[in-house]
Structure 1
Amino acid sequence: MINLSKSLNVTNISWDINKEPNPCLWKGVGFKSPSNSSVIQISLSWVSLSSSDFLPPVCQIESLHILDVSGNHLSKIPSGFLSDCGKLDGLKLLNFSYNNLEGSLPVFVGFAGLEFLDLSHNRLSGAIDLELDGLVGLRSLNLSLNNFTGSVPTRLGKSKVMKELQLSMNKFHGIIPVDIVGYHNLTLIDFSANNISGSVPDRIGELSKLEVLILSSNSLSGEIPQSLSNITSLTRFAANSNKFNGPIPAGIAKHLRNLDLSYNTLSGSIPSDLLSPLNLQTVDLSNNRLNGSIPAALSQSLVRLRLGSNSLDDVIPTAAIAELKRLTYLELENNTLTGLISPELGYCQSLALLNLAQNQLSGSLPMELGKLSHL
């Protein structure tokens, strides 16, 4: 710790052996227990660090479990740090997010105990091949918001224990590799805001522990896989702003809380059971080519329902909507809905936004809408 303090020259972190001779009291230093002074955590986040010279001395702390240097101005990870800290089997978490790291992804050799690696919000670039393949225990990888190119990486630790994979806001292209289903423990996949194309592998339904799947803002096409309805743990599915076509698979929202399929070219009618699952809170199907009527079977948990800019017709199922006490946003604009605007909408006391514009509704505007105090 003394060597480390000498290599740090930061005004807003006071690691001064003369002012405070006990490192246990230094800000950002964590110890195993009050009776055990082994350093297990170094947290130097958001302290305006610009030089990486302090990093190699960190590796002299053999008991280290956690290193967090996020939110600084670091432009590189020294090779000495990678070679020396790779020998620390107890190191579990590395957080270099929100820095200015440039160049290609470093090769991680060793790091046998590393479980969490966060390199998001940097300027790293190039393709990813085998740089992370040696990380046998990696469970969480966040490479979001960089400039990575090439295909979606699948060599992410030989033991395939990955649970969270975040690759959003890069320049990855090509298809979603079917090899991804080999990571059976995945609970979170975020591939949003890349240039990924092709169809979603039907075998994605084999990821039985998946809880969140975000594919938004890519160039994905084809039909949405029916196999997603087999994932009983899936609570959020976002595939908006792609080129998906064909019908919405029946049963896809069976276990969901949040569903976003907006801005695609989906067609056909809305499945009669799509909006009814008990836990369903938000649904966005706007800006597609859906037709037919709005299903009357609606979840009591719905907070937001967006069905605008489609070709939906028939009357609004107002009696069912009136039962939705939590409904805050109801957006049905730019369809061909007919009939009256029912006074029963006045029972939706939580409504903050009601958009019925550009339809073929008729009759008078019910005065009961004036009772909606949050509108």
Structure 2
Amino acid sequence: MNRIAVTYETKDGAIRQIEVDTDGRIVDLSRLSAVSINLTPLANAVGIEELQLASNKLKSIDLRPLSKCARLQVLNLTKNKIQQLSLRGLEGCIALRELNLGGNELKVLDLSPLSSCMNLQRLRMFGNQIEKLDLKPLSKCDKLEYLELETNHIESIDLGPLKKCVNLVQLNLMHNSLTSVDLSALKQCRKLKFLYLHHNALGSIDLGPVEQCADLTILRIGSNEIRNIDLEPLAKCANLRRLELAMNALQTLDLSPLASCAELRALDVAGNHLTSIDLSPLSDCKNLEELYLFSDHPQENQFTEVDVSALFACTNLEDLGMPESVDLVAESSLKEQENIPTALQELIDEARISWT
């Protein structure tokens, strides 16, 4: 067994060493309370596959010694205090599958070295202070599956390079400051399952490109400023299970395209400016479990009457968010139906539904 010493400095100024097995697959340098770590000795640990540097107090770190670590697959730098970082050195890490930079204080980051990391599958940069990010280097990473950019300060971003990332499964841009976003590149990402755009400042969004994403499972675009939205592209997303549109500024909403989404489990449109809604398309969403038309948000929908007849076909419906003040009506022929959904039975028991 060959061992080398890695030197690090703690927050109280103490210089310490930790021995590392150069023949080992995993090097764990996490939770050392280190403010700096010298990775130079790892230049000789060419067999390393995973390097854990998480949960320290690093403000910066030199990754260049890793340039000879061609077998490195996982590099985890999450939960530090990194403000400046160069990815130089990672161009030699051609086996890199996962890079986790989440939970730091980065404002800018040059991804250029990652253009050599063509096996990259997961890139995590959540919880930083990034305002702009050039994704061009990722156009070479055609195995990329997860891109996590949530909880930053991104105001605009060009997703164009992602059209080469044909294996993309998840794109997370929630909790940023986006005022617009062009999803055109996602036409090529036909394995996309999870698209998170909620908690931004989007005034509008064109969902046209996602009609090519037949595996789309979760689409979250709530807590924006969207006034109008065309759901027609979702008619081709037969595997859609959750659609969140809450807390926007929608005045009208046509649910007709959702009739093709037989796997839909949850729909949230609470917190908008709707005064009426036609729920009849949901009669084809027989797996629907949750429907929120009202959730006591500061700004709420202003329905006076809602026809819930279509929901009697949703036998798994358990949660139904409705304002207490709204008049609920349903066809009288449904009154004696067997297997009335739990959520509707509760309303019947409370004498909330008027039969027509």
- TM-score band by shorter chain is 0.7 to 0.9
Question: Which structure 2 residue ranges, 5 or more long, are not aligned?
Answer: 30-45, 295-299
Distance (Å, rounded) in 1 between the aligned partners of 2:191 and 2:74: 23
Q: CA deviation at 1:299?
A: 2.6
Residues 175-216 of structure 1: per-residue CA shift (max 9 Å, x gap)? 444333232221111111112222433343221111111111
Question: Which structure 1 residue ranges, 5 or more long, are not aligned?
Answer: 30-36, 331-340, 346-355, 362-375
SS in 1 for 2:162: coil
**Residue 180 of structure 2 contacts residue 205 of structure 2 at CA under 8 Å; is this kept in 1?**
no
Residue 265 of structure 1 is aligned with which of 260, 273, 281?
Answer: 273
SS in 2 for 1:42: strand
**Residue 285 of structure 1 contacts residue 307 of structure 1 at CA under 8 Å; is this kept in 2?**
yes
Q: CA deviation at 1:222?
A: 1.9
Equivalent pairs counted in the alignment come to: 322
Aligned to 1:40: 49
Residues 261-297 of structure 1: per-residue CA shift (max 9 Å, x gap)? 1122345443235166342221112233554422251
SS in 2 for 1:141: strand
Residues 1:293 and 2:307 aligned together: yes
**Residue 160 of structure 2 contacts residue 184 of structure 2 at CA under 8 Å; is this kept in 1?**
no
Aligned to 1:117: 123
Q: CA deviation at 1:171?
A: 1.3
**Residue 129 of structure 1 contacts residue 153 of structure 1 at CA under 8 Å; is this kept in 2?**
yes
Aligned to 1:162: 168
Distance (Å, rounded) in 2 between the aligned partners of 1:238 and 1:129: 27
Q: Which moved more, 1:231-240 or 1:122-131?
A: 122-131
1:310–1:43 Cα change, 3 Å? farther
**Residue 289 of structure 1 contacts residue 310 of structure 1 at CA under 8 Å; is this kept in 2?**
no
Structure showing the higher helix proportion among its residues: 2
Residues 1:49 and 2:55 aligned together: no
**Residue 268 of structure 1 contacts residue 292 of structure 1 at CA under 8 Å; is this kept in 2?**
yes
Q: Provide the aligned C-alpha RMSD in A.
A: 3.6
Residue 171 of structure 1 is aligned with which of 155, 162, 177?
Answer: 177
Q: Which moved more, 1:300-309 or 1:160-169?
A: 300-309
SS in 2 for 1:121: coil
**Residue 240 of structure 1 contacts residue 264 of structure 1 at CA under 8 Å; is this kept in 2?**
yes
**Structure-to-structure mapping, 1:120-269, within 5 angstroms:** 120-126=126-132, 128=134, 130-151=136-157, 153-156=159-162, 158-250=164-256, 252=258, 254-269=262-277
SS in 2 for 1:189: strand
Aligned to 2:18: 16
Q: Which moved more, 1:152-161 or 1:141-150?
A: 152-161
Structure showing the higher strand proportion among its residues: 1
1:294–1:270 Cα change, 3 Å? same
Distance (Å, rounded) in 2 between the aligned partners of 1:299 and 1:41: 48
Q: TM-score, normalised by structure 2?
A: 0.76
